[in-house]
């Protein structure tokens, strides 16, 4: 049991690679991810990391070549594999969109009638076209979809758009959103108990790292007459820490606050006479 390892598949190169690697690093997992590496063993956690094409990951997880994997939800929706979605990861947000050459003169979805659309997502695109009553021909290709109109292979494409730079550099214009997507952690069905224990440990760390990303640590000094209101503003995890300052009539308050609330709360705190407000990042947050 001691040398039991969990095998995780990450995207080798592409939109999800860097964030997937960073997530594992935030979980305290140490490993080498040198350029061109296909496999790496973590030094301080029972995890073996495979670097693969993202499109192949659901199949590898279904076939138990890998136990878990990080991929975009778009690939799952396309492939209908027998794998479980364990957690959404809050990065890799992108959309599957239809794009046309700038010269197309596109006005509405009806302009796609009778046209040829190249994609690696024939199922999702097919369902979308049926829902919209469009009769177009789908041409399935496995990669480099963005060059299809330029070489006369198709009139339009349906592909993932993240920053939009791939479309831009190929002279394409996004015209319809088919699906919104983000990175998810998937696992194979019927994971054995020993590996489930490792996955649970990893999930615990992922959740702590994600919670930390969404929250900030806040410290401030406040006059005692406004203490009650400030405590209400900063409920924290259980309640804020309040300590008297050496200066009479003043207290120091420490708490945790949602990142999205920081600026509005700081404005109110200043109105209540707060001074020396510090807002700090949190590495891990365990509730
Ligand atoms: C997707 C897509 C585009 C790129 C779009 O590739 O196929 O190439 O991302 O991103 P951008 O809008 O930021 O330019 P993916 O990462 O899935 O790699 P793959 O196509 O090689 O599988
Ligand atoms: Zn891909």
For residue 106, the Cα-to-chain-centroid distance in whole angstroms is 32
**Token duo for residue 138:** 């789908």
- Contact partners, residue 183, CB within 8 Å, separation at least 6: 16, 19, 20, 70, 71, 72, 73, 88, 89, 90, 91, 92
User: Relative to the CA of 143, which ligand 1 atom is closest?
Assistant: 20
Task: Please tell me the class of the 6-92+182-212 domain.
Answer: alpha beta
Ligand 1 centroid from CA 280, angstroms? 34
Q: Is the CB of 164 under 6 A from ligand 1?
A: yes
Q: Is the CB of 159 under 6 A from ligand 1?
A: yes
Question: Starting from the edge strand earliest in sequence, which strands make up the sheet with 275-281, in order?
Answer: 241-244, 250-258, 215-223, 275-281
Q: Which ligand is nearest to the CA of 170?
A: 1
pLDDT value at residue 34: 75
In the CATH scheme, what is the code of domain 94-181? 3.40.190.10
pTM: 0.84
Pocket of ligand 1, candidates 15, 53, 141: which has the most ligand atoms within 8 Å of its Cβ, to mutate? 15
Ligand 1 centroid from CA 26, angstroms? 24
**Looking at ligand 1, which residue's alpha carbon is closest to its atom 9?**
160
Q: Is the CB of 160 under 6 A from ligand 1?
A: yes
**Token duo for residue 131:** 């829902």
pLDDT per residue, tens digit, the chain (287 aa), is 457 999 999 999 988 999 999 999 999 999 998 778 899 999 999 999 999 999 999 999 999 999 999 999 999 999 889 999 999 999 999 999 999 999 999 999 999 999 999 999 999 999 999 999 999 999 999 989 999 999 999 999 999 999 999 999 999 999 999 999 999 999 999 999 999 999 999 999 999 999 999 999 999 999 999 999 999 999 999 999 999 999 999 999 999 999 999 999 999 999 999 999 999 999 999 97
Asked if residues 237 and 286 have their Cβ atoms less than 8 Å apart, the reply is no
Q: Is the CB of 166 under 6 A from ligand 1?
A: yes
CA-based diameter of the chain, in Å?
A: 79
Q: Judge whether 94-181 and 215-280 match in fold.
A: no
**Looking at ligand 1, which residue's alpha carbon is closest to its atom 20?**
143
First to last CA, the chain: 30
Asked if residues 199 and 188 have their Cβ atoms less than 8 Å apart, the reply is no
Helices 193-214 and 17-26 pack at an angle, to 10 degrees, of: 100
- Contact partners, residue 71, CB within 8 Å, separation at least 6: 11, 16, 54, 57, 58, 183, 184, 186
Asked if residues 28 and 22 have their Cβ atoms less than 8 Å apart, the reply is no
**Looking at ligand 1, which residue's alpha carbon is closest to its atom 14?**
166
Helix segments in 155-226, DSSP class H: 165-169, 193-214
Q: Which of 54, 76, 78 is nearest to 126 (CA)?
A: 78
- The domain segmentation of the chain, as residue ranges, is 6-92+182-212, 94-181, 215-280
Q: Is the CB of 55 under 6 A from ligand 1?
A: yes
**Looking at ligand 1, which residue's alpha carbon is closest to its atom 8?**
166
Cα 185 from Cα 29, distance rounded (Å): 16
Cα 25 from Cα 192, distance rounded (Å): 25
pLDDT value at residue 1: 47
pLDDT value at residue 2: 58
Cα 62 from Cα 146, distance rounded (Å): 29
Ligand 1 centroid from CA 124, angstroms? 17
**Token duo for residue 147:** 């060059």
In the CATH scheme, what is the code of domain 215-280? 3.30.70.120
Q: Which helix (H) or strand (E) holds 95?
A: strand 94-101
For residue 155, the Cα-to-chain-centroid distance in whole angstroms is 31
Pocket of ligand 1, candidates 162, 165, 179, 183: which has the most ligand atoms within 8 Å of its Cβ, to mutate? 162
């Amino acid at each position: 049991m001691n040398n039991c390892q969990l095998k995780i598949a990450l995207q080798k190169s592409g939109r999800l690679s860097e964030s997937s690697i960073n997530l594992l690093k935030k979980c305290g997992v140490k490993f080498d991810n040198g350029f061109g590496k296909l496999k790496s063993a973590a030094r301080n956690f029972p995890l073996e990391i495979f670097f693969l094409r993202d499109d192949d990951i659901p199949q590898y997880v279904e076939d138990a070549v890998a136990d878990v994997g990080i991929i975009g939800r778009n690939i799952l929706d396309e492939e209908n594999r027998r794998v479980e979605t364990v957690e959404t990861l809050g990065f890799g947000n992108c959309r599957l969109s239809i794009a046309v050459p700038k010269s197309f003169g596109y006005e509405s979805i009806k302009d796609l009638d009778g046209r040829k659309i190249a994609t690696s997502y024939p199922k999702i695109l097919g369902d979308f076209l049926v829902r919209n009553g469009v009769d177009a021909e789908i041409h399935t290709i496995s990669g480099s979809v963005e060059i299809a109109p330029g070489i006369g292979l198709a009139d339009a494409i349906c592909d993932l758009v993240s920053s939009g730079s791939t479309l831009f550099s190929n002279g394409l214009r996004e015209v319809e959103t088919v699906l919104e997507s983000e990175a998810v952690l998937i696992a194979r069905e019927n994971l054995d108990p020993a590996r489930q224990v490792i996955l649970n440990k990893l999930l615990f760390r992922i959740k702590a790292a994600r919670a930390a990303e969404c929250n900030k640590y806040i410290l401030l000094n406040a006059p005692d007459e406004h203490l009650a209101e400030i405590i209400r503003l900063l409920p924290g995890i259980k309640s804020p820490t309040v300590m008297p300052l050496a200066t009479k009539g003043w207290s120091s308050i420490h708490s945790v606050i949602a990142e999205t609330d920081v600026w509005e709360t700081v404005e109110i705190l200043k109105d209540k006479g707060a001074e020396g407000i510090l807002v700090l990042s949190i590495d891990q947050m365990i509730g």
